[in-house]
Every structure is written in structure tokens, then in C-alpha cells.
Amino acid sequence: MPSAPLDLRLLSSFLAVVEEGHFGRAAARLFLSPPAVTQHVRRLETELGTLLVDRSASPVVPTPAGVRLAGHARVLLAASNAAVDDMAEAVRLDRNAVERPLRVGIMGHGSAELTPAAINAYRRARPDVRVEIRQLDFTEHVTALTEDRVDVAFVRPSPDDARVVADVLTTEQRIVVVPARSPLADARLSGATVADIAGLPFFRVPGHTPQTFTDYLYFGEEAQRRSTDFAVTPQEVLTGVVTGRAAGSGLRSFARYYAWPGAVFVPVVDAPWESSYLAVRADEENPEVRIFRALAVALARELGPVINSEGLNGEGLNNEGLRP
């Protein structure tokens, strides 16, 4: 193992080879000579004590060790690029400006395990910047950003507003949550269809909730708002569920975070999968937002497939029998 930190130049050359599948194309992309790129990869292999790419394949492919390193390389290089951008921005900023915290909004459980992973990665990268966590309700899908209450927001689905841009972080199967005594609870293993859930008493949301969010909640069916209960947080949804007054919907990872006794999570097998997003203001100039966004997107590439399938700990969905 290396006795010194990894050289980012070596990582950059290695990652270019992995992504291009060819030493020559990687060299052209980096404006280096092919021998230089080859030397960088060899030096990295020597430092790590293992082969990182299979040179006999066409195109060149990473070895198992190379696959693992590529994920780390993306995160490190993204953080490095974001740091360079930050320093360039710092030169022009007023040195006497009052530092404000990075305000992170989270709707429900955000993007599952990726949410704390991104926040912790940012805290390690920027230990001098204070982070404030703010819980968002369903009505703040867009307004938390446009009204400047948060700087970044973990939301779902993608906001339909030109003032906001969003990156996909996870993509998951849809579920509905029903009381354990509901007839639909028997479908916890086999799953239900959109037609099966048409008669559920889904909770209501306030009228000022964005239409894109209500379409997501009700699977695009306005007629499904049958409960008299209103809810703007997952906890309110689950209270309505376990008391038999309402049903809810969400992403598959919802069950890992809200496994309440008396609530059963049923996969909706024919509903389109939906994504969770990291949203920011389209005209955002805060360099800290760019750093956080770069880290979150890089982590999503590395950890997303694991989270989407079963969570970082390999756990099933809940103790009601529903498993990935």
C-alpha cells in the first residue's frame, strides 16, 4: 500500500483510461502523450501493489481492484475540481463578508443512505463551514429553495420550475403503505398493480403543494384523494396509516426508514420507478453549493446501485416480509 497520499494526476490518468477504454484516447482527452498516461497507470499500480486494468482486453477494462478504485477516484477528483473552483471564487469574494452556513434541506428521508453520506463527505471536505440541516415538508418541494430558506435540497420528484435545477441521486421502485389489517397488506410479497391501489384512501395535501409532487404521490390519478386526513410529513402519513384513516405512497427505501408497527409496505409492480434528487437554485453562485453538489453526484455514481437495491447495510425493507 502507498505510504503517501495518492497523486491526483495518476488518478486522473487511470480514470481516463477506464472511461475511454483506450490509453491513446485517454491521453488525447488529457492532452498528454500515451507514454505519459501509461507511466501514470503503472506508477499507480506499483504504489497500490495490484493490477488496475486488463491491457489484453479491447477495449481496456478495469480489474476488480480497478473498478473499486475508479469509484474512489471519481469522488476525489470531483472534490479536487470543486476545491479549485472554490479557491478561484474566494479570490473575488469580499474578505470581510460574513460567512453563512450551508443550509441543507431534506424532505422525508431524502435520498436514503446517500443523504448522510453526502453530508458527512462535505463536512470532511469543508470542516470550517457550518452545516445546518432543515427538515422540509411536502409543500416546500420548490419554495424552500426559491424563497432562500435552504441552499441545497434532497427532494422527490424533480421540481418542475425553471428557477431550480436537480441531479438524480437514486432511482427506486414505488410502494404504497397501508394498515396491516388492509386486504392489500396480503400483497406485501407479491406486489400490487396501479389498478389494485385505485380505491385506497390516500391522504390529502394542501392546495399549494406543487402539482408535480401531487402527481407523484397519487401516481398521476387526481381521483385518488379519498381520505379526509391531510399530511405534509412522512410521520403524519404513517399516523394516518396505522390508525386506519389513510394510505400513503413513496419510494422503496421509505420502508427502511419508517418501519412503524401496524404499517405494511407493498411494492407497486407496474408503476414507473421514480428518482430522488438533489436540487439547487439555477442561478446559484455560492461555491459551497457547487462543492456539495459535486460530492453528492460523485457519491451517487459510486453508491447509488447499492442503495437502490438494498441499502448500504444489505438489509431487507422491513420486518413485514417485504424484501428487495
128, 95 Cβ separation under 8 angstroms = no
* The pLDDT of residue 323: 33
Q: In angstroms, rounded to a whole number, what is the distance separating the alpha carbons of residues 31 and 40? A: 14
Confidence of residue 85 (pLDDT cuts 50, 70, 90): confident
Q: DSSP state, 43?
A: H
Fold assignment, 102-170+274-310: D-Maltodextrin-Binding Protein; domain 2 (3.40.190)
According to CATH, the topology of domain 8-92 is: Arc Repressor Mutant, subunit A (1.10.10)
Do residues 184 and 200 lie in contact, with contact meaning Cβ atoms separated by under 8 Å?
A: yes
Mean pLDDT over 10-23 rounds to: 94
**Alpha carbon distances (Å) from 145 to 68, 118, 136, 141, 177:** 35, 19, 11, 8, 29
Has residue 321 got a pLDDT over 80?
no
pTM for this prediction: 0.69
pLDDT band at 97 (very low <50, low <70, confident <90, very high): very low
Asked whether the domain spanning 174-267 has the same topology as the one spanning 102-170+274-310, the reply is yes
- In tens, the pLDDT along 162-221 reads 999 999 999 999 999 999 999 999 999 999 999 999 889 999 999 999 999 999 999 988
DSSP states along 129-195 = S-EEEEEE-GGGTTHHHHTTS-SEEEESS----TTEEEEEEEEE-EEEEEETTSGGGGGTTT-B-TT
- pLDDT band for position 100 (cuts 50, 70, 90): confident
Bigger pLDDT: 259 or 164?
Answer: 164
The CATH fold of domain 174-267:
D-Maltodextrin-Binding Protein; domain 2 (3.40.190)
Average pLDDT over the chain reads: 88
Q: How far apart are CA 120 and CA 108, in angstroms?
A: 18
